[in-house]
Each structure stands twice: as C-alpha cells, then as structure tokens.
DNA sequence: AGCACA
C-alpha cells in the first residue's frame, strides 16, 4: 500500500493535490470530502514552495484516518488522483488537545524549520543567523502581502464594528436591525462619536452571519452601513478568542467569511440532500450553490439515471456511492460496461434497471451478480434475447430480493430453477409473459423461495398444479394471475390450501374462473384488500355474494365485465366501505346499480365509471351526495349524463384531485361549479364541445394547483380562455389543446408563463406558428414531450429555439410541419431526444434525415414513412440499431386537411 | 516529489 511503513496516525498526509487551487478553497473542500470518515479536528495546507500540493487532515479517531487512507486512495480531486498516507508526526492540534504540546517543542520545531529553510535556500539567499531568520520571517510576512498593520482587518470575533450610520441613529433602532440574528447580545454606542456602534453577539459565528446579512444595508438611501469585526477587544474577549476557538471552528469561520452556507455541518447538508433524492432539478440547483455543495452532492448521490451509456464511463469515479442505477434511457449496455460499473460500485450498488437495455449477455450479468454482492434488485424486463444462461448468471446474486423478468420469453423452467436455487431471499418476482415457464418452474420457485411477497405470473401457460406450493407461502401478499387461461374452476376445486397472508389478487382476463374458482382460491384469505377481476367472467349475484367473505376488501376493479344489477346489490350490502371501485366499460351498469353501490360505500376515494353509457344525472346525484370525500372521478363518455349533473360535482366534492369528463355534456355552468374544487390537479375536458372561454376562466381562477389539462377537440375554446388558464394555473405540467382551430400563437405566448410545462400537445392547431413555439421553447425549459403534427406554420426557426433551450426534450412528433433538414438537425442539440415521429415532412431530404438521425445519439424509437426506407443507406440502420434504436415504419397516405366538423380526416393522395 | 501547524 501507499502508506508504506508509516504507522497509523490520526492525521493523514495527502499529496499530488492540484496546486492551482487556492488555499482556503482547498481546505474547505478537503474538509467536506473527508468529513464522511469522521470528525475532523484540523486541516492544514500551505502554499510555500516546499509544501504546496500537500495537506494534512487531522481526525479525532485513528479509524477515520485509516478508512480515509484506504477508501479515498487515488480519488480524483480537482482532476488529480490523491495520494494518501498517514502523517509521519502528530499534528499540533492533537498534541494540544492532549496537553502534550510543550512550548519547548514549539521552539524546537521553529528551529528545525529555520534550519531546513536555511539549507533549502542555500545559494539563493544570503545566510542569516538562526534566531534572526526565524524572527525576521515572522515580522516581514504581513508586509509582503502589501497590508500595513494599521489597515489590516481584525480577526473574526463576536463583536461587530458598525460605521457610516446616520448621526440620528439610536441604539434602539440598531437593536431592531441586529436582533433578527441569533445570538444577539447588545448594541453599544458612544455619545461622543456619532455614526459608529458596536454590536455584540454570543459568538463569532453568529456575528459573522449578521455581518454577512447586513453588510451594506442602507439605513437611509445615503447611509449604507459598513461592518467589520471590532478591533480593540476587551481582555475577556481576547481571551475568549484565543481559547474558545478550536482549529475546526477557526476553519469554519474563515470559510463563513466567503460563503455563509459553509458553516452548515455536513450532517445537515446530507440531511437536506436526503430529501432531494427524487428530483434531479433540485439536486442540480443544489450543487450549483457553491463548490462544497457540488462536491458533497457528488459524494452523497445514491441514484443515477444516465441519458446515454457513453456518459456512464465518465461518472463511474465521480459518484462513489451509487446504490440505484436506472439505465432505462440507455438502449445499449454491453458486457464491458456492466463489468466496469459493477467493479466501480461493487459495495454500493443495490438496484439496477436494465429493462430498456439490450446488447448485454449472461457474461455481463454474471460479472454484475458476482461483483455486487449487495445487489437486491434487478429489472431485466423485455430481455427478449436473454436465455437460461442469463438466468443462471442472475442466480449468482445471492442477496437478490426483487427480480423482474417480464417478457423474457426465452427463459425456461431450467433458468428459473437456477434462480430458485440461487436467490433464496427473493421477495418479489415478476415472470409476466415468460411464456416458456410452466408449472414446473413456478412450483420450484414457490418451494425454494420462502420469502416471496409478490409474484406476477401473468399470461404463463400454467395450471392449478403450481398453485399448492404458492398458496403455502407464509408471506405472500400480492399474486397476479392475469390471463392465466390454464387455470379454471375445476382445477381450483382441487386445492385444499388457502393463503392467509394474501392482500391483493389479480385475476383479470381469467375467463375460466368464476366465483366458484375464486372462492376456492381465496378461501381463508381474510386479509384480502384488493381484488382485480377486470375483463373476466360476468359479475353475477353469486360472485357478489362471494365477495362478502372478504371483510377487509378496500378496492375492487371490475373493468370491462358484464355486471348485473343484482350483483352490484350484493356488493353494496357490505358493512365495510370500499375506498376504490372501478366499473369502467362495464356494460350493464345502470343508475340503480350505481346508486346502490355508492350509498353503502360512502368512504369511496376513487371511482371509475368510464363508458358506463347507461347512467344519467341520477347516478351523479347519488355519487356526489354519498361520497363526499371522493378524490378521483373518471367518467369519460358517460353520454347520457345531463349538463346540470356537473354542478353537483362542484358543489359536493371539494376534495377532488382528478376529474375526467372527456366526451361529456358539460358546459360553462358546470365548469363554474367544478372550479370550486380547489385541489384539482388533473382535469380532462377533451371532446367537450359545449365549453368555451367562460368556463376556462372559472377553472383559471378556481384551480391554482392544476397540473394536467386536456382540451383535445374542445372546439369552443379560444386564446382568451387559454390565457386565463396560463395565468391562473402556474403549476401546469401537461396541456393538450390538439385539434382546436381557433387557437393561435397567442395561446402559446400565454402558456409560456407556465415554467413547469413538460408536455405540450398542439397537434392539428393550424394557426399556431414558429413565433408561438419559439416563445414556449425560450420559457419552458423543462419541456419533455411535444406534439406539433399538422402545425404547418411551424418551421426550422422553432426547431432552432428548441435545440437551443429545451435540453430536456425527449419526444417530438413533427409530421406535416414545415421543418426541413436544418431544423431537424438542430434538434440534435437537445442531447436527450429519444423518440421522434416524422411522417411527411415536405422539406426533408434523405441526406438531411440521415444526418439528423446520426447526430441525435440518444434516439431509441424513430417512426418514419416507409418511403424513406429504400432511400437511406443501409449502414445508417445498422449503426442506429447497433446503438439500440428501433425503427417503426408507417405507410399512411398524405392527409390534406382537417375536417372542420369533426375528427374524421380527409384522406388525400400522396404528393 | 515534497511531512506542518504563522
């Protein structure tokens, strides 16, 4: 090791530091960097010819120093790898703390230094006598820096000296000003000397903070106060200053002078960072505050979602503590990359998402599983090329708790058998669409992995034969058997076990299971909370009665089922109340059913009655009367519900956060009432042709929290309505105003106030142009998804603006716009573009397209017109597909214009 | 490469 023969020491010695970094910054950064290993007593760095590029960090504990020597060895710090050893001698601050720093020793040290200096300087400086050299050096030092003693600032202390006060200032006035800061003690003024004052705080840090905050404060327009530390301290204060400050406090004080944030301890900053974890933008702003925040953020960062795999190599060393790696934006992840990341984050990596990545094999997975022994989660969904060898490699991850293998269609019972043997700690396993896995593999899993909590077996060719061991799992809470057509009533009747721990059961699309099978399967499942029976057999009275066995049931989804009225009456006659009920697309649901249900489930929070086409005003009356705490109501296409029903929603359901009334008869009066729901976050008003700007005005003034608004084909609206929305809903993240022919640039200009806008759909708005979109691009820098299909007046200039300002753009549909080669190419500047659709761009040539495709390095999905296929050189496809991009070809004919009376499009001929 | 505390 680099520490060589030097015995362990509380202090570490670091060399090969970047000599360009200023001393104070270097000390501060070292402090930040090393405080992860323990309490630091002092950081020493000097810029003298002999000592530049080196530093000492003194820890309270030897163990901290040892860890620092080992773990930070060669850590790239200001672009240079640090070389770390134990220090050869004891630091003075430690000797002082131990009470062993004798004055004698100090003197001896000084002499040593003088001696060395003399020897080192031979030939360059005339030799001087020992004592004289030492003393002289001490005295001349300040004058070298060009500061006379008289002008030199006093050392930081607890008393501030205030100058340039208006003569009429009283101590009361000053007290008011200075007592806002913690630690305030008193103001002292001298009658004979107007214009100055002394303000005392409890300690130097508190006085420093007040100084920072009030420096230059204008008491009157002419009197900006000047604050310095007081110079002539009373004897008691000067004693305090000499003895109360530990070396570390001195350091943090010097630091506080430059940056007020630096007086925060690392623990506090880490606690702040813990709360920022899921928001990349906040973290980014955080690390831009100052260099030490930047550094700490790097060290603290635990999750990473790189936009491209090429970028990953560069950050392997930058972020030493990554535990969660999301590679879902990286279509190409090869074995060497898996090997190097698993080497870098060997002891930290706990979770990795490879669900959208390809080009790796069992070899890479094996390295991952072997290196990262703390790995608990791997998402390999969509690994359609992965075989049993890959599953065998995954089985090396002995601590794995969550494994997602959805659509790994080549993996068989053999592969899953390896996983069962290797990963005994599995708690969650998703085998959805692993169509080669049969009863054998599933049964084996259930026998071996006793810790399983959650098991997804959707669409597997399994039968009831694999169920007995599954139902014996002691902790199983979540079982998904969606689309398992091999399981039927007859088979289920053979079961004699029940799973008591089961909390959620999903039997959607299980056409062969009726209430008979359901009760055999859930016999004794007294903790069942959620039941999904969507798209299954008819919901009959018997089924309804069967549900009565589960007294703790909170949520039922019956989407797409034929529901009889008597069945809903049975469901309605429970004593306990459901919180979530979905009846979307249930044919057979009438007002009578709904009324019955909601009257006995008054605690309902979420209700979905999408496409319950028979219900009317009466249902809405009943729902809103009974379920006043409703937070989500989805009722798209309930076309018999009359316009006055919507008033009731606004009057009675003040807690609504989500409302979908797409394709309903709602009018402005209804919107007026609905805008009383001030908690509304999502409002869908697509194809609501009765609403106009008046209605939107109400929404704009009543729903300040709105994040999502859908006005697709709500053809009564104009720019004036959008202006009210833009003004009243600053939190807006997603807006759809597609196919509204009255919308112009003016709407886009108003929407540019919504700085958090992420998704903008203006497809088929023929009157918007480059001007409007460029304004959006300049203002809404978080834009991720943009649909401008058929906006024929949008041209290259708008693309230039997007390329310049919208660095987060992920997805764009440009079909039928007036964009040409140059505009398309400029989108490559956004760096993050993954998904692009271009059918019919008149100004685009094959060379322009080829150049743009190559330039947009992060593309994962490209939708093009078939006519381009033979025109592009073959190597383009090879190259793009090699990078992980998938091409989708469409052969739609050129569509000329939008039918002003509806959404049927005239189909014209190709140009 | 270089081990100090100003």
Residue A793 belongs to a domain with what CATH number? 3.80.10.10
Interatomic CA–C1' length for residue A14 and nucleotide B5, angstroms: 15
For residue A392, name the pLDDT band (cuts at 50, 70, 90): very high
Among residues A229, A256, A291, the one where a domain terminates is: A229
Does the C-beta of A148 come within 7 A of strand B?
no
Q: Is residue A839 part of a domain?
A: yes
Q: Is residue A16 part of a domain?
A: yes
Q: Is residue A61 part of a domain?
A: yes
- A666 HSE (CA, 13 A, CB side): 36
Q: Is residue A398 part of a domain?
A: no
Q: Is residue A427 part of a domain?
A: no
Q: Is residue A352 part of a domain?
A: no
Angle (CA) A795 A798 A802, round 5°: 140
State the nucleotide closest to A4 in CA–C1' terms. B3
Q: Which of A137-151, A559-573, A760-774, A877-891 comes out lowest in average pLDDT?
A: A137-151
In the predicted structure, residue A902 carries a pLDDT above the cut 60 = no
For residue A151, name the pLDDT band (cuts at 50, 70, 90): very low
Q: For residue range A573-596, list pLDDT tens digits in order.
A: 776 789 999 999 998 899 998 998
Interatomic CA–C1' length for residue A4 and nucleotide B1, angstroms: 16
Compute the residue count for chain A.
Answer: 911
Q: Are residues A795 and A885 in the same domain?
A: yes
Buried b / exposed e over A105-117, threshold 16 CB at 10 Å, is eeeeebeeebeeb
Instruction: Please name the residues in contact with A743: beta carbons below 8 A apart, sequence gap of 6 or more.
Output: A717, A718, A719, A722, A737, A762, A765, A767, A768
Does the C-beta of A87 come within 7 A of strand B?
yes
Does the C-beta of A113 come within 7 A of strand B?
yes
Among residues A50, A83, A99, the one where a domain terminates is: A99
- Please compute the mean of the pLDDT values over residues A345-370 and round it to a whole number: 94
The total number of structural domains that make up chain A:
3
Task: Single out the residue of A176, A181, A162, A172 nearest to residue A224, CA to CA.
Answer: A162
Interatomic CA–C1' length for residue A13 and nucleotide B1, angstroms: 14
Interatomic CA–C1' length for residue A241 and nucleotide B2, angstroms: 34
- Please compute the mean of the pLDDT values over residues A349-367 and round it to a whole number: 94
How many other C-beta atoms lie within 10 A of the C-beta of residue A231?
12
Does the C-beta of A142 come within 7 A of strand B?
no
- Please compute the mean of the pLDDT values over residues A341-361 and round it to a whole number: 93
Give the pairing of strands A184-188 and A197-201.
antiparallel
Task: Single out the residue of A56, A23, A14 nearest to residue A258, CA to CA.
Answer: A23
Interatomic CA–C1' length for residue A444 and nucleotide B6, angstroms: 73
- Please compute the mean of the pLDDT values over residues A733-737 and round it to a whole number: 97
pLDDT of residue A4: 58
State the nucleotide closest to A12 in CA–C1' terms. B3
Interatomic CA–C1' length for residue A341 and nucleotide B3, angstroms: 36
Here the tokens at position A549 are 């066995």
Q: For residue range A85-135, list pLDDT tens digits in order.
A: 999 999 998 888 888 876 655 566 666 666 655 554 444 443 333 333 333
pLDDT of residue A910: 37
- Please compute the mean of the pLDDT values over residues A614-632 and round it to a whole number: 95
Does the C-beta of A442 come within 7 A of strand B?
no
In the predicted structure, residue A64 carries a pLDDT above the cut 70 = yes
Handedness of CA A356, A359, A361, A364 (dihedral sign): negative
- Higher per-residue pLDDT: A79 or A770: A770
Does the C-beta of A90 come within 7 A of strand B?
yes
Here the tokens at position A577 are 């109340």
Whole-model pTM? 0.69
Which 8-state DSSP code applies to residue A262?
G
Q: Are residues A778 and A886 in the same domain?
A: yes
Does the C-beta of A296 come within 7 A of strand B?
no
Query: Is A538 buried (19+), middle (13-18) or exposed (0-12) by CB count in 10 A?
Result: middle
Task: Single out the residue of A241, A157, A175 nearest to residue A214, CA to CA.
Answer: A175
Give nucleotides in strand B with any atom < 7 A to a protein C-beta.
1-6
CATH number of the domain at A74, please: 3.30.70.330
Does the C-beta of A11 come within 7 A of strand B?
yes
- Higher per-residue pLDDT: A695 or A571: A695
pLDDT of residue A808: 87
Q: Is residue A710 part of a domain?
A: no
In the predicted structure, residue A906 carries a pLDDT above the cut 60 = no
Q: For residue range A294-305, list pLDDT tens digits in order.
A: 777 888 888 898
Does the C-beta of A51 come within 7 A of strand B?
yes
Q: Which residue is nearest to nucleotide B3 (CA to C1')?
A: A88
For residue A240, name the pLDDT band (cuts at 50, 70, 90): very low
State the nucleotide closest to A16 in CA–C1' terms. B1
Three-state DSSP class for A378? strand
Among residues A57, A82, A99, the one where a domain terminates is: A99
Does the C-beta of A41 come within 7 A of strand B?
no
Does the C-beta of A6 come within 7 A of strand B?
yes
CA distance linking residue A814 with residue A794, whole number of Å: 9
The residue with tokens 């300002």 is: A805
The residue with tokens 């026998």 is: A447
Helix extents (H) in A465-537: 467-471, 489-493, 515-522
CA distance linking residue A638 with residue A623, whole number of Å: 14
In the predicted structure, residue A234 carries a pLDDT above the cut 80 = no
DSSP symbols for A689-729 = TT--HHHHHHHHHH-TT--EEE-TT-TT--HHHHHHHHHH-
Contact A306, A327 (CB under 8 A): yes
State the nucleotide closest to A3 in CA–C1' terms. B3
Q: Are residues A168 and A75 in the same domain?
A: no
pLDDT of residue A149: 37
Does the C-beta of A91 come within 7 A of strand B?
yes
Q: Is residue A215 part of a domain?
A: yes
Q: Are residues A875 and A778 in the same domain?
A: yes
In the predicted structure, residue A155 carries a pLDDT above the cut 80 = no
Q: Are residues A178 and A81 in the same domain?
A: no
Q: In what order do the strands lie in the sheet with A83-86?
A: A40-45, A55-59, A11-15, A83-86
CA distance linking residue A112 with residue A106, whole number of Å: 10
In the predicted structure, residue A312 carries a pLDDT above the cut 50 = yes
Share of chain A above pLDDT 90, in %: 54
In the predicted structure, residue A669 carries a pLDDT above the cut 80 = yes
Q: Which domain holds residue A779?
A: 774-890
Q: Are residues A91 and A163 in the same domain?
A: no
State the nucleotide closest to A42 in CA–C1' terms. B5
pLDDT of residue A111: 62
In the predicted structure, residue A770 carries a pLDDT above the cut 80 = yes
């Amino acid at each position: 090791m680099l520490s060589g023969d030097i015995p362990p020491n509380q202090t570490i010695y670091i060399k090969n530091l970047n000599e360009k970094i200023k001393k104070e910054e270097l000390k501060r950064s070292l402090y930040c960097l090393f405080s992860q290993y323990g309490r630091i007593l002092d950081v020493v760095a000097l810029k003298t010819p002999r000592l530049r590029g080196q530093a000492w960090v003194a820890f309270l504990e030897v163990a901290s120093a040892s860890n620092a020597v080992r773990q930070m060895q060669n850590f790239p710090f200001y672009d240079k790898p640090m070389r770390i050893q134990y220090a050869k001698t004891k630091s003075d601050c430690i000797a002082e703390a131990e009470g062993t720093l004798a004055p004698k020793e100090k003197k001896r040290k000084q002499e040593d230094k003088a001696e060395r200096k003399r020897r080192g300087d031979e030939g360059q400086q005339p030799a001087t006598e020992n004592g004289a050299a030492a003393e002289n050096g001490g005295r001349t030092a300040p004058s070298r820096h060009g500061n006379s003693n008289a002008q030199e600032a006093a050392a930081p202390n607890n008393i501030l000296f205030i100058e340039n006060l208006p003569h009429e200032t009283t101590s009361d006035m000053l007290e008011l000003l200075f007592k806002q800061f913690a630690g305030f003690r008193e103001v002292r003024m001298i009658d004979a000397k107007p214009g100055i004052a002394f303000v005392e705080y409890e300690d130097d840090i508190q006085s420093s903070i007040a100084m920072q905050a009030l420096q230059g404060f204008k008491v009157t327009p002419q009197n900006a106060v000047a604050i310095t530390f007081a110079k002539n301290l009373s004897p008691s204060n000067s004693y305090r200053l000499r003895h109360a400050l530990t070396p570390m406090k001195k350091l943090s004080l010097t630091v506080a002078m430059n940056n007020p944030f630096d007086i925060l301890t690392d623990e506090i900053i880490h606690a702040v960072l813990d709360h920022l974890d899921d928001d990349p933008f906040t973290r980014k702003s955080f690390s831009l505050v100052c260099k030490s925040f930047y550094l700490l953020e790097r060290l603290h960062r635990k999750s990473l979602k790189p936009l491209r795999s090429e970028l990953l190599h560069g950050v392997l060393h930058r972020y030493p503590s990554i535990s969660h790696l999301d590679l879902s934006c990286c279509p190409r992840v090869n074995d060497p990359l898996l090997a190097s990341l698993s080497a870098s984050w060997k002891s930290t990596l706990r979770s990795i998402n490879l669900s959208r990545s390809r080009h790796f094999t069992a070899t890479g997975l094996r390295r991952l599983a072997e290196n990262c022994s703390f790995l608990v989660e791997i998402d390999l969904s969509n690994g359609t090329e992965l075989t049993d060898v890959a599953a065998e490699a995954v089985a090396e991850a002995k601590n794995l708790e969550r494994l997602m293998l959805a659509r790994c269609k080549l993996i068989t019972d053999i592969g899953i058998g390896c996983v069962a043997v290797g990963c005994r700690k599995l708690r969650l396993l998703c085998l959805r669409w692993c169509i080669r896995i049969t009863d054998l593999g599933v049964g084996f899993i259930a026998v071996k992995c006793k810790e399983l909590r959650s098991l997804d077996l959707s669409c597997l060719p399994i039968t009831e034969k694999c169920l007995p061991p599954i139902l014996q799992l002691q902790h199983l809470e979540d079982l998904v058997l969606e689309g398992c057509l091999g399981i039927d009533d007859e088979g289920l009747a053979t079961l004699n076990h029940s799973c008591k721990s089961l909390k959620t059961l999903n039997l959607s699309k299980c056409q062969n299971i009726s209430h008979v099978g359901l009760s055999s399967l859930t016999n004794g499942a007294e903790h069942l909370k959620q039941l999904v029976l969507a798209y299954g057999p008819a919901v009959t009275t018997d089924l309804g009665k069967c549900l009565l066995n589960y007294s703790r049931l909170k949520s039922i989804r019956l989407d797409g089922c034929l529901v009889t009225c008597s069945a809903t009456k049975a469901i309605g006659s429970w004593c306990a109340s459901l919180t979530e009920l979905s009846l979307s697309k249930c044919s057979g649901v009438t007002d009578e059913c709904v009324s019955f249900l909601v009257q006995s489930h008054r605690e309902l929070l979420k209700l979905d009655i999408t496409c319950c086409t028979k219900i009317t005003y009466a249902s809405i009356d009943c729902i809103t009367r009974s379920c006043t705490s409703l937070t989500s109501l989805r009722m798209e296409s309930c076309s018999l519900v009359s316009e006055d029903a919507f008033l009731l929603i606004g009057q009675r359901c003040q807690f609504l956060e989500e409302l979908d009334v797409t394709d309903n008869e709602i009018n402005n009066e209804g919107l007026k009432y609905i805008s009383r729901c001030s908690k509304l976050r999502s409002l869908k008003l697509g194809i609501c042709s009765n609403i106009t700007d008046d209605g939107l005005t109400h929404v704009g003034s009543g729903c300040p929290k709105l994040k999502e608004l859908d006005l697709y084909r709500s053809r009564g609206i104009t720019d004036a309505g959008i202006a009210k929305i833009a003004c009243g809903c600053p939190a807006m993240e997603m807006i759809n105003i597609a196919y509204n022919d009255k919308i112009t640039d003016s709407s886009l200009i108003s929407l540019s106030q919504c700085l958090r806008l992420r998704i903008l759909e203006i497809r088929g708005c023929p009157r918007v142009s480059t001007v409007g979109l460029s304004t959006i691009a300049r203002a809404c820098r978080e834009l991720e998804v943009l649909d401008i299909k058929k906006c024929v007046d949008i041209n290259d200039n708008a693309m230039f603006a997007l390329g310049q300002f919208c660095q987060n753009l992920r997805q764009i549909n440009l079909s039928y716009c007036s964009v040409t080669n140059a505009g398309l190419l400029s989108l490559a500047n956004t760096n993050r573009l993954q998904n692009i659709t271009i059918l019919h761009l008149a100004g685009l040539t094959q060379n322009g397209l080829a150049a743009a495709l190559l330039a947009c390095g992060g593309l994962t999905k490209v939708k093009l017109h078939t006519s381009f296929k033979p025109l592009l050189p073959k190597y383009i496809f090879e190259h793009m597909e090699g990078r992980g991009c998938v091409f989708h070809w469409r052969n739609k004919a050129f569509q000329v214009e939008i039918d002003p009376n509806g959404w049927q499009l005239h189909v014209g001929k190709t140009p």
